[in-house]
Structure 1
């Protein structure tokens, strides 16, 4: 009897919550076909259920063509109406992420999967590390990017690559200062801060300095990079800020694929990186710029010639 009453109460609450979401015409409705962010890309999805949770509408979506295992609850910030403008945005993101190649199947981009090198043929990569070919993945590095930071990355791409805007440099706080603030935050909170965390933070700074000119810049930003670095004669981590540091986390799994890490060490590193991403998310308003007010660029001429 108690179980039946509990189930009835849960159902009543669910129905009430769904009605609350429907009151707002800017929101979405159950059964509606939408476009949904998953990772850094946009996919077609269908809303299965809507509920009002923690003062906001949440939607249970099924990605069309995917297994039901990928169904999930998302906020309205990850959903868009199916309009021609949004479909064009979807196409541009797919093209940017995959070049001119067609997507092979529907592969969610939220989890970054990378092989940790074992034995195999070796060659030198552009970063001077050994690249081993023809190998099966032994371990997987998964970085779960918070939804707010995923949207930050997509907006960053759109503002620079599509609208021709640039971030004003040098940034404050810069990457070095952000890493220092994180360490101070951990110490102030009373967390155990050992040599391993310091090593991870130093590694992030080192990876950032080496990766930025080769991997972390859009075409439209390369001329700006050459000018700023030559003028300041210093490292990228003292010039660039959270916007470019966040891009590093998309590339990190590829870079870390060339390190011979044991599974236990990989898991510890993964936890530390995830905690740092949460720190970036918590401080989004103070770490990331609110507007891109650097010099404008001609994205169809200057950038594409490079």
Structure 2
């Protein structure tokens, strides 16, 4: 239970398990999409988006953990910060890897760079700004890392690869990075922001994260319609719609479980009825 300011939120699923889920699931999705990109015309690009959803759930849990100490308007800000760190780390990692002829290691290098950036920002927040949040350093490291995996995963879903030149041309130059930034940032920040309060529960928040991650996947599929081809884009969109439905129904079921009462309000009263 969390009141959005009462200390670390209770977690039915330990954070270490979510870290493993986000990193392992995210990287498996990214690399599977990359290696299978030449199979069936790139139709397996959707696996990059699945990896991004794994990172989204992990990142949303990290936001929940640190924000439960009471960030206030910092909850939306931390999502944007995550994607800001993610963009820098992702592009740096992919570029450096390709520059050294180790393009295959790009996502791993990006993940390490993101973790370092996140850790430094966490230290700065606690030691210089004196926010004094016990989990700040670890949470910022996780948020930066999850944001990086999310960005690379959605980029792979759009293009079928994480090679720097392709991502630069088809994602950055075209402006689609803005779509990733907003959709990904919302997927990380919105779940806890939408559920915070004394009755906030981890499973409800994470189902919300799944639903928002699926929306980002649908958007990536729409982009893939033009960047790759119709079949690739439609597969990603359809799987995204299925995951969105699963996530939304799971979220709504938990809303009804946790709510005191669920009622239909009917139509808003007319001006005459209010008199």
TM-score by length of 1: 0.24
Higher helix proportion: 2
Q: Which has the higher strand share?
A: 1
